Amino acid sequence: MSEQTTVDDLVPLSVLRPGDMAEIGLVLGRPEDVHRLEEMGLRGGTSVEMISPGSPCIIRLGANKLCFRADDLLSVLVRPGPGS
């Protein structure tokens, strides 16, 4: 997260619509879940595109698509990009 960004600037990944771009701000949850997502590349500062919101959520991460279930125990907060 950049120095000027605060948690107040972030929104849940779930509010993005298909085609919206965003930058990952924080991934919150059980350490093992956060670690698994970070290993797949989902970490602060990474750009993503929403493919299909909901549960499971499908996002584009670089050249790959990532599908995961966000629930009460896992929260991905993002900084929406232009036009989102």
Residue range 36-61: mean pLDDT, rounded: 91
| Domain presence at residue 13 | yes
Cβ neighbours, 10 Å, residue 83: 7
Is residue 83 pLDDT above 70, yes or no?
A: no
The Cα 62–Cα 66 span in angstroms is 10
Residue 5 identity (one-letter amino acid): T
For residue 65, the enclosing domain spans: 7-80
The Cα 8–Cα 30 span in angstroms is 21
Whole-model pTM?
Answer: 0.81
| Domain presence at residue 27 | yes
| Domain presence at residue 59 | yes
Given a contact cutoff of 8 angstroms between Cβ atoms, the answer to whether 50 and 16 are in contact is yes
**Domains held by the chain: number:** 1
| Domain presence at residue 2 | no
Give the CATH number, domain containing residue 12. 2.30.30.90
Which pLDDT score, from 0 to 100, does residue 7 have? 72
Q: What is the pLDDT of residues 3-37, one digit of tens each?
A: 455 677 899 988 999 999 999 999 988 899 889 88
| Domain presence at residue 30 | yes
> What percentage of residues in the chain have a pLDDT greater than 70?
86
Residue range 58-64: mean pLDDT, rounded: 93
The Cα 68–Cα 58 span in angstroms is 7
| Domain presence at residue 1 | no
